[in-house]
Amino acid sequence: MTFPILSAGMLSSFLFAFATSFDELTIALFSSGGLSTTLPKQFWDETTTQISPVIAAVSTCLFVFISLLISVADRPRRRSLS
């Protein structure tokens, strides 16, 4: 009973945290210490060192993935309204 009520909030908070993590490049640059590479740091390194179509492809894939997650999360709400 509790999980169906919480699932929409949990999914939206996951998506919000995922999207916010791309805005925290400064924290990723300082906290990684050069030993690990986060996705925003990898984007930064790729765009500053070389121009490659890989960044555009990965960005497009992330956009499509997040759009699909949002549409799947919104499906139960649309069904309950009709």
DSSP assignment string, 5-54: HHHHHHHHHHHHHHHHHTT-HHHHHHHHTTTS--HHHHHHHHHHH---HH
Owning domain of residue 41? 2-81
Q: What is the pLDDT of residue 64?
A: 92
Q: How many structural domains does the chain have?
A: 1
pTM of the model: 0.47
**What stretches in the chain show pLDDT beneath 70?**
1, 22-23, 25-26, 28-29, 31-35, 82
Q: What is the pLDDT of residue 1?
A: 62
CA torsion 20-22-25-28 (nearest 10°) is: 90
Q: What is the pLDDT of residue 25?
A: 67
Q: Look up residue 71 and give its two tokens.
A: 């549409």
